[in-house]
Amino acid sequence: MAASQSRFDPKFTEHVLSIIGPNTPPRTRTVMSALIRHIHDFAREVELTTEEWMMGVHFINSLGQISDSKRNETHRICDVIGLESLVDEIAHKHALETEEVPTSSSILGPFWSPNAPWRNLGDSIIQDPHQGQVSLFRGKVLDLVTGKGISNAVVDIWQASSNGKYDFQDPENQTDNNLRGKFKTDEDGNYWFYCLKPTAYSLPTDGPAGVLLNLLDRHAWRPAHIHMMISHGDYKPVTTQLYPDDDPNLETDTVFAVKDDLIIHFDPLEGDSNAELKLEYNFKLAPKGKPPVERAQL
Amino acid sequence: MAASQSRFDPKFTEHVLSIIGPNTPPRTRTVMSALIRHIHDFAREVELTTEEWMMGVHFINSLGQISDSKRNETHRICDVIGLESLVDEIAHKHALETEEVPTSSSILGPFWSPNAPWRNLGDSIIQDPHQGQVSLFRGKVLDLVTGKGISNAVVDIWQASSNGKYDFQDPENQTDNNLRGKFKTDEDGNYWFYCLKPTAYSLPTDGPAGVLLNLLDRHAWRPAHIHMMISHGDYKPVTTQLYPDDDPNLETDTVFAVKDDLIIHFDPLEGDSNAELKLEYNFKLAPKGKPPVERAQL
C-alpha cells in the first residue's frame, strides 16, 4: 500500500526519491520513481519478510546466470508474468491512436530472426522432415482505411517445427531457416505459401521460469501459433501471432498473448497434393501519418 | 495506475492472476499477486515503452552475470533503491510490536561473517596496520524494560579498515578477521574494546549498481559506520550500524540505513596510550516473550 496509508515510516519512499539528482533526465526520473515507489508499496502491502526478500534476490541473480546469447531468461520471466504482453498493448496503443482497429499485435518473442530468406509466392517454408500437417496459407494484406489490397507488403513468417522447436534450438533436426520465410504480396495484396499447422510447445522449464511456473502452480504451455510480421513502408507494421482454434490452452497461454481476432481455423484441403489443410487470414495495416485521435476520445 | 483507472485492458492483470493454480500456498499467492499487480500498475502508469522494458531486461540479466560467491549485485541494487532498509523496518516492527523503542535495527549488509573470533573485554579488534584513528569503545547492554545491565550478552562488531575495505575484500592488506570480534558483557552488562573510528566508503561502481547510481545522478557513498550485532538468549537480538556525527553523507546514505538514534560522537581520549578517541554507546534489548501490543495501538 502507499506509504501514507501504511503503518511504516510514511516519509521513507519520499526520501529515497528525493535524492535522485538534478542531472537525471525527466523521463528517467518518472520511470525510476514509479518503479521504486511500486516496489516499496509492494513490500509494505505484503509486509515482505527478510527471507522472502532474499529468495527474490537469489531468484533474480539466477536469471542472468542461466542466460547467454541464445537464452534470455529475464525476457522469459517477463512473458510469464504478462509484462511483455502488457508492454505490447501499450506500444500498440501508442503506435495507432486511431478509431479503427487494425489486426491486433502480439509479442515478438525470442525466436524471430533477421536472416529469414526471401521466398516466392507459392513456395513452402518447410525445408526438413517433420511430423506435422502441411497447410496452404493464403490471404491478403489490406489497407485498414480503404479496405484495398496492399501490393509489395512483406509477410515475414516463423514457426516451430512439429517437435515444438525452432531451427536454432534444434540444429540436429533442422537446417538454418527451416520454417522461416519472407514473402512479398502481389499487385492485389495477395500472399500464399505452404507451412505447417503449428504445434503447441512448452517454455523451457529447466531454469528460473520453471521455478516460477511451479511456484504459481501453472503449466508452461504456449498454445500452438504461427508468428507473423507484416510491414510496408507506407503503413504501421504489425507483429502478431495466429492461434488454431482447437488448442486447449488458448485461455491459459503461459505468456498471455492470445487475442480473439488472432484465433484461426484450419479446414481440410482437397485437390492439392502438397497440403492436407488450408487456412485463410487477412491482415489490416494502418497507414502511417494518419492524425492520432485525442486520448480523451479513446 | 491500477488497471481499473487506466486506458488499457482493465481485465488483463486480473486474468494473469486468475491462472495461478490451486496448489500455490496462500502466502505465495498473496506475495506474487501483489508483485505482479504492482509491476503491471507501474508499466501502465508510466506507459512503459518496449525499449525501456528491454533495457530493464538487460539490466536484470547483468545482475546475475556479475554476481558470484563473493559479490551479490542484486542484493546491492536492493540496497540502492532502499528495499533492504524497508524490509528491515518491516522485520523490526514484526519482531518487536512493543510500546517501547529499543535500539533501532539496521541492515546486515553483505560483510558480516559467522567466523568472527571471540575476544576478551579490553582487547583490540585491530590486527593489521592502518591509517585510521584508534578508539576506545565502551558501553552497556541494557534490558529495555528494567533498564538493568545484561550480563553475558554477545557484542559482535565488524568494520571496514581505513581504506574502506573489509578483510575478505582486501587479502593483500588484511589478515582474516581483522576488525572483527565477538565480546561477552561483564556481570553488569559492560563491554569495552578498541576499534577504529570508521571510514566512509563507496559501493563498488564497476557493475550494474554503478549504472543505476549514475542513471539516478546519485553518489555511491555510505556514511562511515560500525556494524554491530547484539544478542542474548533471553532477548530479541538487534543488528545495527552506528554512524559518526561528522560524516557529510548522513542524509544521503546510498543504502538509506541511517537512523537518528544510531548517530554517535567520538571525543578525544586522554591518558590512554592505546587510543586517541573514545566512544560510549548503550544498547537496549527487548526481552523475548513480552506480549505484543495490538497493531492498532502502534
Q: What is the pLDDT of residue B296?
A: 32
Report the distance separating Cα B97 and Cα B291, nearest Å.
8
What residues of chain A, 102 to 121, have a C-beta less than 8 Å from chain B? Answer: none
User: Burial level of A24, CB count in 10 A (0-12/13-18/19+)?
Assistant: middle
Please determine, for the modelled complex, whether the ipTM score is greater than 0.85: no
Contact by Cβ (8 Å): A176, A167: yes
Q: What grid cell was written down for B111?
A: 560483510
Q: Nearest Cα to A83, choosing from B140, B271, B16?
A: B16
Instruction: Report CA-CA distances (Å) from A101 to A190, A216, A283, A295, B179.
Output: 21, 34, 11, 15, 67
Average pLDDT score over residue span A13-23: 95
Query: For the segment A191-201, what is each residue's pLDDT rounded down to a tens digit?
Result: 999 999 999 98
DSSP assigned state of A295? G
Q: What is the pLDDT of residue B99?
A: 47
CB of A211 within 8 Å of a chain B CB? The answer is no
Lowest average pLDDT, out of A155-159, B50-54, B101-105, B108-112, goes to B101-105
Residue A22 has pLDDT above 90, yes or no: yes
Contact by Cβ (8 Å): B269, B275: yes
Residue A86 has pLDDT above 70, yes or no: yes
Residue A105 has pLDDT above 70, yes or no: no
Locate the DSSP E strands across B185-287: 190-196, 201-202, 221-222, 226-231, 238-244, 263-264, 267-268, 277-280, 283-285
Report the distance separating Cα B18 and Cα B16, nearest Å.
6
Residue A79 has pLDDT above 70, yes or no: yes
Mean pLDDT of chain A: 90
Query: For the segment A107-158, what is each residue's pLDDT rounded down to a tens digit?
Result: 677 788 888 999 999 999 999 999 999 999 999 999 999 999 999 999 999 9
User: Burial level of B110, CB count in 10 A (0-12/13-18/19+)?
Assistant: middle
Residue B208 has pLDDT above 90, yes or no: yes
Q: Which of A42, A64, A89 shows the shortest C-beta gap to B63?
A: A64
A118: helix, strand or coil: strand
Is B42 in contact with A38 (Cβ distance < 8 A)?
yes
Residues of A in contact with B257 (CB under 8 A): none
* Rg of chain B, C-alpha, whole Å: 23
* Rg of chain A, C-alpha, whole Å: 23
Report the distance separating Cα B134 and Cα B148, nearest Å.
29
What pTM did the predictor assign? 0.82
| Confidence band, pLDDT 50/70/90 cuts, at residue A12 | very high
CB of B52 within 8 Å of a chain A CB? The answer is yes
| Confidence band, pLDDT 50/70/90 cuts, at residue A290 | low
Q: What is the pLDDT of residue B107?
A: 66
Q: CB within 8 A of B270, min separation 6: which ones?
A: none
Query: For the segment B12-41, what is each residue's pLDDT rounded down to a tens digit?
Result: 999 999 999 999 999 999 999 999 999 999
Q: How many CA atoms lie within 13 A of A248 on its CB side?
A: 4
Q: Which of A23, A49, A215 shows the shortest C-beta gap to B32?
A: A215
CB of A253 within 8 Å of a chain B CB? The answer is no
- What number of other Cβ atoms are within 10 A of residue A18's Cβ? 11
The percentage of residues in chain B with a pLDDT greater than 90, rounded to a whole number, is 76
Phi, psi of A85 (to 5 degrees): -65, -40
Residue B116 has pLDDT above 80, yes or no: yes
Q: Amino acid identity of B172? A: E
Run of H or E including B136: strand B134-143
